[in-house]
Chain A
Amino acid sequence: EVQLVESGGGLVQPGGSLRLSCAASGFTLSDHYMDWVRQAPGKGLEWVGRTRNKDHSFSTEYGASVKGRFSISRDNSENLFYLQMNSLKSEDTAVYYCVRGYNGFDIWGQGTMVTVSS
């Protein structure tokens, strides 16, 4: 079964850092583009960033609101996908989803909540 499972969310103070992980199963991570999408409480969806597949050297793209603060990486040997979040702000409070970028965005994880608050 193709599945994505996020972990690593929690409460962090403004200015702090957090790393989210996404464990992929049922497919070969290196073959696929992978994305992070977030949703603030009661709000719509916001694309955070992407890493391309091995054919495109795992290059990355980011949304404007997180560029320079967040970084995406992967450990293909372990089928893990990461979102490193630095200099966190209150407006980064959201559920973070990892998403497979195949046929659009076909598979979503269950999400992990990140709360930025003092």
Chain B
Amino acid sequence: DIQMTQSPSSLSASVGDRVTITCRASQGIRNSLTWFQQKPGKVPKSIIYDASSLQSGVPPKFSGSGYGTEFTLTISSLQPEDFATYYCQQYDGHPFTFGGGTKVEMK
């Protein structure tokens, strides 16, 4: 199975900060990577697919990059509604696997 490792597992940031989350795959997955945002008690929401494509309706403060084994999710200017847990997931090979999540908390 392809292992997905997210870092950091948690971070503290302030409104207006630029935040970057990293996801590493144990083997190459091309650009078959997606990012989700999940708030407590809520359904996960897709924000990025194919590593860098913005999901419909998602604001452009979110961006994704990477190919192969290393990927990043960047929030250009953190807003109060962005405090949440973020997960990456690969869909290049079965079984599809998720990273362990990164919790973005208010400093």
Contacts and interface: CB of A to CB of B under 8 A. Distances in A.
Interface string A71-113: 0000000000000000000000000010001011110111100
Nearest to A62: B95
Scoring A45, A97, A106, A111 by chain B CB atoms within 10 A of each residue's CB, the highest score goes to: A45
Interface bracket on B: 20 to 34
B46 A61 contact: no
Given A64-B95, A103-B55, A105-B89, A45 B46 contact: no
Contacts of B94: 50, 61
Contacts, number: 63
Interface bracket on A: 20 to 34
B68 interface: no
Contacts of B8: none
B100 A111 contact: no
21 contacts: A37-B44, A44-B98, A44-B101, A45-B36, A50-B94, A50-B96, A61-B94, A61-B95, A64-B95, A97-B43, A103-B55, A104-B46, A105-B36, A105-B46, A105-B49, A105-B91, A106-B49, A108-B43, A108-B45, A108-B46, A109-B43
Interface of B: 1, 34, 36, 38, 43-46, 48-50, 53, 55-56, 87, 89, 91, 94-101
